[in-house]
Structure 1
Amino acid sequence: MEKEFLQQFDALLEKYSELLVGTSDDAVKEKVRFYALYSHIAKTMPALAKHWNGMYPEAKNRIIEIMNEVKVLNEQHRKSKLK
């Protein structure tokens, strides 16, 4: 892939992370990346997500943790904006 596109797409992910959870540091941005991609896969190809969950139960548990972390961060971010 071309470097310019990768930088531009990273900027999109950074802004998405910032708007979703209030921060875009690298660790959180990576969690948001997994959150967004897994959410999309689960919605568009639920059978694939179910198959993967069955094949990799430890990874399934980790993705659940990541999803919950992002949801909590999102809720905290939304509450902080109301103040």
Structure 2
Amino acid sequence: MTERRGGWVVIAHYAAGYEADLAVARLDAAGIDAVRRGNDTVGLFGPGFEGPTARGVDVLVAAADAADARDVLADVPGTG
């Protein structure tokens, strides 16, 4: 599941943007810089409705932080 681009790796993929936001916040609280990436972060039912997106949302961290980030998110449902 790991994708390498410019020193960042995908450590998790979520169906909904809010799930990725929660993961990024949890990583930030642990001192790990993280970003989310998704082409269509609007839910399937349109703007104003949070929920699953057509393609999902990735959470990326620096490659050097990947192992620690996976540990932080290990108990989060949907993180694989």
> Which protein has the bigger helix share?
1
- The answer to which structure, 1 or 2, has the higher relative contact order (CA under 8 A, 6+ apart) is 2
TM-score (norm 2): 0.29
